[in-house]
Amino acid sequence: MNEFVKPVLDYFELLPLFIVSGVACLGVVIEAFAPRRMRYLAQVVLALVGLSAALVAVVLIARDAEVYADGAARGILSVGGTIAVDGPTLFLWGLILVLSLAGVLLFAERHLGGGVSAFAGQAAALPGTEAEREASTSGLDHTEVYPLLMFAVFGMLIFPSANDLLTMFVGLEVLSLPLYLLCGLARRRRLLSQEAALKYFLLGAFSSGFFLYGVALVYGYAGSMNFADINEAVRNDAGNSALLLVGIGLMSVGLFFKVGAAPFHAWTPDVYQGAPTPVTAFMAAATKVAAFGAILRLFYVAFGSDRWSWQPMMWVIAILTMLVGAILAITQTDVKRLLAYSSVAHTGFILTGVLGIQATTDLAPGEVTALQAVLFYLATYGFATLGAFAIVGLVRDSGGEVTALDRWAGLGKESPVVAGVFAFFLLAMAGIPLTSGFVGKLAVFSVALAAGAWPVVVVAIIASIIAAFLYIRVIKAMYFDEPIGDGPTVVYPSVLTATTIALGAAVTLMLGILPGPLLDLAGLAGQFLR
């Protein structure tokens, strides 16, 4: 009988996880015991301080991380090898925490709604009932959204750092469940919001089931949950290869669902449209970063030795995702749905970078690695999409947000600054030079070409041209189309939303002009630890 070996907890290296989970639990305590009038301020300050402290901890851990093979990798394996606090993990943790800080600022915005937040006053009240009207007129607010956000961030930190299948599944569920709830808490258009939450929950539950079934099959093949052991079993062809291939396919369904890759993207436009806009912004940016971190670790570390088996599948998914996202985006008449299909197309572009995996010996001196390119693209995408959705919340009428594209006609005359910044984000998504999107696309296309995936790159360029037409159509509507009626109204935000938009615009511009420091930082992160 094997004796149980107690796992060693490296408290310093795991400090960001402890801080974020502790703040989430403390937020629940505040909801239970603090007077209602004090909860909003207490929750916002607690969330901002907690995320800032976790970010400082990430920087300190990265500074002192143990280095291997002259910088080829850095970090440690902790908790019995189930959590990998290595260079890519630290990069992703830092990116997720910065995006989450901006997300908290959007959650805390009250000026746009005339003194109330974007979240329902009482989620348990049925839409259209007297109870809902009373909750709305009395100014009630769901401050529970801040602990929910912190629990989601906790799952996002676990997901890309998981070094075994069971821990990865736990991270997937911990990040998903709070998001299901947050999507259904919109103050206005309650039925649409609840429909979005239900669709996201049901489809997410099915995708988690696929993922878990795949975990069982891969465990049956390798006899271990640990990624290094799985990789060793794959290298030695230890078991029934059909079991492995079916397991990889089923796990891919769960992961592709989370990033919104076709044909598992159907939830994306409905959820992005129905969820409160601050939740959409946070979810679109941070969830994609965490999920792609998990995809990179799973396919590069656990299944890297069998990449000839999964790369053809990834080719098909990447091509389908880019074309579906770009083509269907053209047909959209709602700005949030348009950005949702744009997000699907960007998922395909990032998958193009994932296909660029090569052996270290095949890389030319100074050549960007696939991991480096994908990490950089995730940063460019995260800040651009966060800023774009933050601006969507500014265009309003008496009924709340206006997301119909024809109602944005004439926005350039009504508010040149808001229209100009939104156009800048759209140009970045299109990959126009001097924006971060251009450098990001150049990086992922380059590594895919170097790895021989030129057909995918050709489709990616075609999809980029199609998407550019879409973004230009939106810019044309804002600047050259005649407004309907009195035209769109822009509500100028408080310093909270303005800071988020300014951060997104500044990062998008800086990464387009000076991409070197972030690319170097992604390169300094090194490779995954096994």
Each residue's pLDDT tens digit, 483-524: 877 677 888 888 999 999 999 999 999 999 999 899 999 888
In whole angstroms, what is the distance from residue 132 CA to residue 155 CA? 32
Cβ-based burial of 128 (10 A; exposed 0-12, middle 13-18, buried ≥19): exposed
- The answer to whether 386 and 340 are in contact (CB under 8 A) is no
In whole angstroms, what is the distance from residue 21 CA to residue 178 CA? 13
Q: In a 3-state reduction of DSSP, which class is residue 119? A: strand
Residue 402, both tokens: 């206006």
pLDDT in the model for residue 119: 82
In whole angstroms, what is the distance from residue 269 CA to residue 393 CA? 17
pLDDT in the model for residue 453: 87
In whole angstroms, what is the distance from residue 492 CA to residue 480 CA? 22
| In the block, residue with structure tokens 């709305």 | 136
pLDDT in the model for residue 378: 95
pLDDT in the model for residue 491: 85
Spatial CA neighbour of 418 closest among 430, 410, 428: 410
In whole angstroms, what is the distance from residue 94 CA to residue 114 CA? 33
Question: Which residues of the chain, if any, have pLDDT below 70?
Answer: 1-2, 113-115, 121, 123-128, 131-140, 238-239, 358-366, 398-399, 486
In whole angstroms, what is the distance from residue 58 CA to residue 93 CA? 7
**225 alpha carbon, distance to own chain's centre:** 25
pLDDT in the model for residue 56: 96
pLDDT in the model for residue 281: 94
Residue 490, both tokens: 């822009």
In whole angstroms, what is the distance from residue 351 CA to residue 373 CA? 11
pLDDT in the model for residue 309: 86
pLDDT in the model for residue 150: 96
Spatial CA neighbour of 395 closest among 379, 414, 380: 414
The model's pTM is 0.94
pLDDT in the model for residue 135: 65
Q: What are phi and psi of 85, to 5 degrees?
A: -95, 75
- Integer-rounded Cα Rg, in Å, for the chain is 22
